[in-house]
Amino acid sequence: MLDGQKRKIEYVRISLTDRCNLRCQYCMPAAGIEKLRHEDILTFDEVVRVARALASLGVRKIRLTGGEPLVRRGIVGLVRELKAIDGIEQVVLTTNGVQLAALAQPLREAGLDGINLSLDTLDPAVFHRLTRIGSLDDALAGLQAAREAGIRRIKINCVPLAGVNEPDICRLADFAQRDPIQVRYIELMPIGCARTAGLRGIPTAKVRQMLEEHFRLGPMLPVQAQAGAVNGPAVCYRLPGFAGEIGFIDALEHKFCASCNRVRLTAEGFLKLCLNAKDGLDLRELLRGGISDENLRLALRQSIWHKPVEHHFKEAHDASRDRRAMYQVGG
Ligand code: SAM
Ligand code: SF4
């Protein structure tokens, strides 16, 4: 399915909940959030119905996110159902990993294709401070369980923060040196709590320089995006001798809007057309109002046609900007 800019939309990120078992400083307020009511969140049957409609329009990849997707009960069964949809080639998950130790094996058996594990630090004290309540051991046990379960595509996501996790930038890259894991550095985006948390992201160019100086293996070599794959916004490199890859996601300096291939579904069933904009469609109202499959497809097609041309993160007062926080959208 093409949007009005002739971009091919093949990927949907589905947020399953706004709840989370951590309180990362750049994502959630310390006091927690005003939670959505259970009845306001899409049921799994509704999620599967939207996924089926999107798949029939050309979507091939689904990412489950949140809040923390693993706190939503029944996620293993959902993965199995999504994997069974005609046209869906990949179902993957973004998680903080703290509940992954128990779930990695059943998720793998349900057909999960990959996991992005958010891990900003390998220092237990920094982990606890940054997440306010988390234990690094739980996240590392989750990572280990994912590897033992044989989940093929494992990526580690780190948000580099000045004066917080600088020493971890190179330590996390060790995972990519030893194993076929992609370690990605995501620039802090000015969304929700990140605007007021007093944190400063480290620019991608600086992170790259730190890695090249630390490993002293020569310049990073660009990795070609896989032909035919549903690729994300990360620009990937390999350092000589590395088993895995290093990726950078740098939405602010290098807009990838022209090649954007995705839409988002929030936990309460709003189809979001751009991470940063409020444009979209209230699918919950349509689903609960008894819309037919054919009209659902039509509504999706019409809405996606109007996907915004580009994001406006850098404009301080942009009327089109969405007020939703990261935990409400899923990254
Ligand atoms: N709870 C899951 C997790 O942490 O992986 C999934 C949801 S979380 C919102 C998805 C990703 O968004 C995480 O990798 C997190 O680090 C990232 N994130 C949250 N707020 C961010 C911000 N302001 N800038 C950049 N990344 C952010
Ligand atoms: Fe939770 Fe993920 Fe947000 Fe951290 S980044 S508070 S783990 S939703």
Instruction: Answer yes or no: is pLDDT of 199 > 80.
Output: yes
Residue type, 69: P
Using a 6 Å cutoff on CB, does residue 134 contact ligand 1? no
Confidence of residue 315 (pLDDT cuts 50, 70, 90): low
Q: How remote is the CA of residue 25 from the centroid of ligand 2, in Å? A: 9
Using a 6 Å cutoff on CB, does residue 327 contact ligand 1? yes
Query: Residue 230: which CATH number?
Result: 3.20.20.70
Better-predicted residue by pLDDT, 308 or 270: 270
Mean pLDDT of the chain: 93
Better-predicted residue by pLDDT, 210 or 233: 210
Instruction: Answer yes or no: is pLDDT of 54 > 60.
Output: yes
Residue 319: its pLDDT value, please?
Answer: 61
Instruction: Answer yes or no: is pLDDT of 314 > 80.
Output: no
Better-predicted residue by pLDDT, 184 or 34: 184
Is 72 a member of any domain? Answer: yes
| Three-state secondary structure readout of 95-125 | ECCCCHHHHHHHHHHCCCCEEEEECCCCCHH
SS3 content of the chain, % helix, strand, coil (to 5): 35, 20, 50
- Best mutation site among 75, 158, 186 for ligand 1 pocket (most ligand atoms within 8 Å of CB): 186
Instruction: Answer yes or no: is pLDDT of 302 > 60.
Output: yes
Coil, strand or helix at 26 = coil
Is 5 a member of any domain? Answer: no
Instruction: Answer yes or no: is pLDDT of 200 > 80.
Output: yes
Is 134 a member of any domain? Answer: yes
Q: What percent of the chain has pLDDT over 70?
A: 95
Tally of structural domains, the chain: 1
Using a 6 Å cutoff on CB, does residue 157 contact ligand 1? yes
Give the whole-angstrom CA distance, residue 279 versus residue 308.
8
Q: How remote is the CA of residue 44 from the centroid of ligand 2, in Å? A: 21
Q: How remote is the CA of residue 63 from the centroid of ligand 1, in Å? A: 13
- Best mutation site among 13, 22, 94, 196 for ligand 1 pocket (most ligand atoms within 8 Å of CB): 94
- For the chain, the C-alpha Rg in angstroms (whole number) is 19
Mean pLDDT of 91-105: 98
Please name which ligand lies nearest the alpha carbon of 193.
Answer: 1
Give the whole-angstrom CA distance, residue 269 versus residue 207.
36
Tens of pLDDT, residue by residue over 128-180, are 999 999 999 999 999 999 999 999 899 999 999 999 999 999 999 999 999 99
Residue 276: its pLDDT value, please?
Answer: 78
CB 11 within 8 A of CB 230: yes
Cβ within 8 Å of residue 159, ≥6 positions away: 26, 118, 120, 185, 186, 187, 188, 201
Give the whole-angstrom CA distance, residue 144 versus residue 138.
10
Is 2 a member of any domain? Answer: no
Is 4 a member of any domain? Answer: no
Nearest to 188 by CA among 24, 325, 26, 312: 26
Nearest to 150 by CA among 102, 100, 114: 114
Residue 320: its pLDDT value, please?
Answer: 62
Instruction: Answer yes or no: is pLDDT of 99 > 90.
Output: yes
Question: Which residue is associated with the tokens 């951590």?
Answer: 22
Is 90 a member of any domain? Answer: yes
Domain span including residue 205? 11-329
- Best mutation site among 13, 26, 28, 99 for ligand 2 pocket (most ligand atoms within 8 Å of CB): 28
CB 157 within 8 A of CB 168: no
Tens of pLDDT, residue by residue over 217-270, are 888 889 988 777 887 889 999 998 999 999 999 866 666 888 899 999 999 999
Residue type, 131: T
Is 260 a member of any domain? Answer: yes
CB 92 within 8 A of CB 115: yes
Tally of residues, the chain: 331
Structure tokens at 39: 């009845």
Alpha helices in the chain (DSSP H): 44-56, 75-83, 100-109, 124-131, 136-148, 166-178, 204-215, 283-288, 293-305, 326-329
Q: How remote is the CA of residue 200 from the centroid of ligand 1, in Å? A: 15
Using a 6 Å cutoff on CB, does residue 117 contact ligand 1? no
Q: How remote is the CA of residue 292 from the centroid of ligand 1, in Å? A: 35
- Of 11-25, 145-159, 299-313, 314-328, the poorest mean pLDDT is in 314-328
Q: Of 3-7, 88-92, 223-227, which has the strongest mean pLDDT?
A: 88-92
Confidence of residue 31 (pLDDT cuts 50, 70, 90): confident
